[in-house]
Every structure is written in structure tokens, then in C-alpha cells.
């Protein structure tokens, strides 16, 4: 997890497979961040959840929101992009981690009335995302190519 209000910064997370990236930006205070979620629920590893709460959707998402609010972000101004949640294992994935990460994350964001303006989830390929703090521009890189999205 990383949050910033430094307009000279670009935040990035690489090679999202079954993991989810939640990218948030608030134009009112030029702040935002990226949360890289690995698993939906901290109950699978309570010890790890204490030392690395951002790894899990159920502990990381509240922490991410709190960090953004600490930078003066307002929920009503936040715009979010959600990416990842792929099934990158060859063959059948009995654990469905990507699917579960996506569902938990989207449910949490909806329940907390956070404005998800776009998603790019599922499939069988990795994604990399970058957030330019000066513009609120998200760049998504995947085997399908490169695309940009403005969170302003």
C-alpha cells in the first residue's frame, strides 16, 4: 500500500495476477494511492495480518481508506479504478483467489459507497498499473497493450 500527495510521484504496482489493485485519486487535494491486495481474508494468516494488514482485502481496504483520509481525501471526491483478479494458474483453479479477491473488494467498495469508475478484472493475464499523482492518470499495462484512464 502506498498513498501520496506529492505531485512529483508516480505510484506503481507490478505483475498483478490473482491480486487486486485498488487505485484511488482525489482531485480536490491531489492525493491518492494504490493498495495491492493478495488475499481476501486475513483469517487465513492472523499473524501475517498483524504485520502486513494491507495484504488482505478485509484489513487492507479500511487501512487504505484511513490513510487517504489522513491526506485530506474526501470519500465523496475519491474516484477508484480496480484491476487484477486474474486466474493465472494453468487449468482449473480450485481456490479461485482472483475471483474471490475481486468480489470481496468490489463488495467492500460498494458497501462503503466509494465511486469505482472502472474495473479491469478477471481473465488469465497479469497487469501492471501506474498512478501519476500530478494528473490522476492511471496507466494499465497488460499483454493486451497499454491504456490510460483519468481519475480526474
Please give the model's pTM, rounded to 2 decimal places.
Answer: 0.95
Domain enclosing residue 95, as ranges:
2-150
Q: Are 49 and 64 in contact (CB under 8 A)?
A: no
Q: Are 69 and 31 in contact (CB under 8 A)?
A: no
CATH of the domain at 59: 3.30.1330.200
Cβ neighbours, 10 Å, residue 100: 17
d(CA 86, CA 125): 6
The answer to whether residue 55 scores a pLDDT higher than 90 is: yes
The mean per-residue pLDDT over the stretch 36-58 comes to 95
Distances from the Cα of 24 to the Cα of 65, 72, 94, 150, angstroms: 9, 13, 31, 11
Q: How many domains does the chain have?
A: 1
Tell me the pLDDT tens digit for each residue of 60-115: 999 999 999 999 999 999 999 999 999 977 656 678 899 999 999 999 999 999 99
Amino acid at each position: 500500500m502506498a498513498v501520496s500527495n506529492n505531485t512529483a510521484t508516480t505510484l506503481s504496482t507490478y505483475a498483478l495476477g490473482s491480486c487486486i489493485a485498488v487505485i484511488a485519486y482525489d482531485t480536490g487535494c491531489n492525493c491518492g494511492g494504490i493498495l495491492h491486495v493478495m488475499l481476501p481474508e486475513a483469517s487465513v494468516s492472523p499473524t501475517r495480518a498483524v504485520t502486513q494488514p494491507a495484504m488482505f482485502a478485509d484489513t487492507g481496504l479500511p487501512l487504505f481508506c484511513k490513510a487517504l483520509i489522513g491526506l485530506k481525501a474526501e470519500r465523496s471526491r475519491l474516484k477508484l479504478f480496480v484491476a487484477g483478479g486474474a486466474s493465472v494458474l494453468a487449468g482449473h483453479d480450485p481456490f479461485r483467489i482472483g475471483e474471490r479477491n475481486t468480489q470481496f473488494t468490489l463488495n467492500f467498495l460498494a458497501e462503503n459507497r466509494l465511486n469505482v469508475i472502472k474495473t479491469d478484472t478477471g481473465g488469465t493475464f497479469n497487469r501492471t498499473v501506474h498512478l501519476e499523482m500530478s494528473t490522476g492518470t492511471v496507466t494499465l499495462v497488460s499483454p493486451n497493450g497499454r491504456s490510460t484512464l483519468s481519475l480526474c
